Structure 1
Amino acid sequence: MIRPNKRGAFVRSRRLFPLIALGLAALALTSCSGTSSPSASSSASASSSASAGTVAATDVCEQPAAEGDISKSVTVSGDDLTAAPTIAIGDAAVPTAIERTVALAGTGDKLADGDYVSYAVTMFDATGTQTSDQGHTGAALTEQLTATTGIGQIFGCTTVGSRIVIAAPQQDGSAGYWVFDVLDATPGAQWCTVSDKPGKLPEVAFDTAGKPNITIPAGTTAPSEVELSVLTEGDGDVVGEGDSVTVDYTGVKWSDGTVFDSSWDRGEPATFSTTGVVTGFKRALEGQKVGSTVLVAMPPKCGYAGTGNELADETLVFVVKIESSAPAAG
């Protein structure tokens, strides 16, 4: 879930993968649902917990969890990835760690480090009864595949069009099953890039204390891409990928113009890494100079789409003032 905190509303929160692959504390994917905080996203809620160690591999192809007799014994119906599958349980034993089997190998592109993977996931209890389905109806879930997170244990470098079975132990001592359908993948550099032809952006007025007031233009359509305008250009260092930045910001919903989070209102700026925020917010920061004030509008897919967050279906608008930046460690 997302909640206002010192780190800010755009801070990424965990999705289903890291939770399921690295400890399944409680498949509550989403940047937390609730308030705001430019955090990442996630979605799905299944109460489970798997014991899997920290992922040490540096190549996503080396990360997939090992196939086991239990995951291999699960029979998945159909090969239509647009619909939720059903399963039949073979070996009823409870796995001691996460197990993975590719039930259907897709014929699409091979996943690579940094790709944004669009997927659907169906969850089942120990009897094979479906408990949840996400991504087959409504927006697909999306997560960035990196060698430094646990999601590689699920996807690895499989191909688009694949259907993957995960079996894992749950906190109550039973087995839990997940079927992941890999629907699409977009290289990181091509995901939610800034439009070179922005439409009519919101109007911004500042009070005497420098706090912005954002007005959504009446009768305009929300943008389908990230749109950005530099309101004031600073003269400091350029923000690089992964830098730690300190910013003041206000975020509003395009749908009704209401403020959902503001560091100005809290009286304290937020500090975070540019790689720790939703993609639309990341695009607004990297490449800008310290001291700049930036206006950015982002569609749901570049914010919290596919999550349980209350902002999942919202086009978001932020005014951000970059106060300082420090290079990424290492």
Structure 2
Amino acid sequence: MRRILPVLTVAALAVTLAGCAGTAEPDATSTANADECAVSGSSSEAVTASSDFGTLPTVSFDAPLEPEVTERTLVTQGDGDPAPHGAVATIDYSFYNGRSGEVIESTDYTDGQQAVFVLGDQLLAGLRKTIECTPVGSRVIGVAPAADAFGDEGLSDYGIEAGDPLVFVVDLLAAETRAWGEPQDAPDGFPTVELDDDGRPTVTMPDGFETPKTSESAVLIQGDGRAVEETDQVYIQYQGLDAATGEIFDETWDDGNPYSGSASGFITGFTDALVGQKVGSQFIVVIPPAEGYGEASDDNTNELAGKTLVFVVDLLGAVPTV
């Protein structure tokens, strides 16, 4: 059956996809090891899709499909690196119900309107396995059983019944794990930052570091993406330290899963440093208590109250929400 996909709204389903890991336990396909990636099979090979990357696909398959595991078949292969687990992926997508053959949803394949997901364990397993290991610049077909989709509950608002498989056609535009762009020199007196092979920072506080009265920030790597707005959903790697001791109190690099949240949802000094930064950048910000967690008191017992904080941040994505 030949289908021309209508363009539907993305926002509501995207939230669901990013917050539902499916019913299956994480398995070997949650890595980017080439020996453990989802592979092509009879179900994914039964789906055909037009090959023009970056354009709305024409998709055809005979429903119902009955995959036992998530299968992945490349339509066109890009020349970028394979997407690893934990990357921030920018995609255009078209989703179908593998039982009924009906269209579920699509992005509109317009620049700047793509969906962004963290390829972590919270993402719907079938979608994650479709994207992981796929080279950037590729169009890929994924067919997922219910165990890697919405299981025995389904998703009635989108016509997905209990036990329904899903079909994904995905254009992978980017899969980022670290900041990119031009290195920049930090101002004199700022903490120094060294990066390991995976981009994880090591921060060294200078001798006699003077705590600023207001937050101070500096760009360490200048990215070339869109500038963050306060209403954006952002995707970041970060490391937070106590300026007085140099001890790390929180970071995302330890488990490789970037954080996503509202740009306005952080402490004041962090949000002020973040808004206006370009995607792809790395920056460092020093935040005194007044723009952080406040001064410690009987009423303010937060463990970070009264402390000057240092954050190193890789800005990997930003998506408008209004």
Give the TM-score band, short-chain normalised: 0.3 to 0.5
Normalising by structure 1, what TM-score?
0.47
Normalising by structure 2, what TM-score?
0.48
